[in-house]
């Protein structure tokens, strides 16, 4: 049984982590505050607790990972989230990124295709701190048509191409941040829906994500 204790030691390590991602170029104070507020060690197996505040990805089971804090901060900064915006996240994983969005007071709809990870996250005690998070089991390529349109869409797995169904679920003026590329390296893109049939694309740095897969996995 995992114990949820956040003491001065973890808080100190977390401040160091925030300093290091600041040095790597994250400037959004709200994003930095969110990283500073969330006990990342709660999201990892007890075995990884002592290294939870290193700026790197870790395994969370089912061959999946919790993203590197710098990557989480980078994507969140690009998303320019404002309070009460409707944000769709593809790839719940550990729900660490979802909680960062929760800290920014977004209304978060997050989808996971791996049943086991979805079930883990559902019983996750810490999530009660974020009443604006809703968890869905499904295929992120489909998005959530029932809840569309969204102000923002965040994809946290490597998409081989830009999923058209997700574009169609963006509000006019809405933005999607998505790592695109089939190999080991993806380009971070930010796509803005300028008008019904007009999308503007900006290209940012390279990252390495686990692949965005099709269908659900029970």
Q: Does 132 bind ligand SAH (CB under 6 A)?
A: no
Q: Are 62 and 81 a contacting pair, CB within 8 Å? A: no
Indicate the residue among 24 and 194 with the shorter CB distance to ligand SAH: 24
CA dihedral 159, 164, 168, 101 (to 10 degrees): 0
Smallest separation, CB 103 to ligand SAH (Å)? 13
Shortest separation between residue 207's beta carbon and ligand SAH, angstroms:
12
* Residue 67 a catalytic site member: yes
- 139 belongs to the binding site for ligand SAH (CB under 6 A): yes
CB-based contacts of 119: which residues, under 8 Å, 6+ apart?
A: none
* Cα–Cα distance list, 46 to 9, 41, 97, 112 (Å): 15, 8, 19, 23
User: What is the per-residue DSSP string for 167-199?
Assistant: HTTEEEEEEEEEEE-SSS-EEEEEEEEEETTEE
Q: Which residues contact 68 (CB under 8 A, 6 or more apart)?
A: 55, 56, 57
112 binds ligand SAH (CB under 6 A): yes
Among 20, 50, 67, 128, the one annotated catalytic: 67
Q: Which of 111, 148, 177, 180 binds ligand SAH (CB under 6 A)?
A: 111
The residue among 97 and 132 lying less far from ligand SAH, judged by its C-beta, is 97
| Binders of ligand SAH in range 40-99 (CB under 6 A) | 64-67, 90-91, 93-94, 96-97
- What string marks each residue from 143 to 182 as x (binds ligand SAH by CB under 6 A) or -? -------------xx-------------------------
Degrees (nearest 5) of the Cα angle 67, 68, 69? 110
Instruction: Return the active site residues.
Output: 67
Give the residues lining the site for ligand SAH (CB under 6 A).
Answer: 64-67, 90-91, 93-94, 96-97, 111-114, 117, 139-141, 156-157, 210, 212-213
């Amino acid at each position: 049984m995992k114990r949820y204790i956040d003491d001065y030691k973890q808080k100190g390590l977390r401040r160091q982590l925030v300093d290091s991602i600041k040095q790597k170029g994250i400037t959004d104070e709200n994003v930095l505050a969110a990283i500073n507020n969330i006990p990342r060690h709660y999201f990892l197996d007890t075995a990884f607790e002592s290294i939870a505040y290193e700026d790197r990805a870790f395994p969370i089971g089912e061959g999946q990972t919790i993203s590197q804090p710098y990557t989480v901060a980078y994507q969140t900064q690009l998303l320019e989230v404002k309070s009460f915006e409707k944000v769709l996240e593809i790839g719940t994983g550990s729900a660490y990124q979802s909680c960062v969005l929760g800290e920014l007071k977004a209304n978060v709809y997050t989808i996971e295709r791996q049943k086991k990870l979805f079930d883990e996250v559902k019983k996750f005690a810490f999530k009660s701190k974020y009443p604006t998070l809703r968890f869905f089991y499904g295929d992120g390529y489909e998005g959530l048509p029932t809840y569309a349109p969204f102000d923002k869409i965040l994809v946290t797995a490597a998409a081989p191409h830009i999923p058209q169904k997700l574009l169609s679920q963006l509000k006019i003026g809405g933005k999607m941040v998505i790592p695109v590329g089939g190999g080991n390296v993806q380009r971070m893109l930010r796509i803005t829906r300028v008008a019904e049939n007009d999308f503007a694309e900006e290209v940012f740095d390279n990252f390495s994500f686990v692949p965005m897969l099709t269908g659900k996995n029970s």
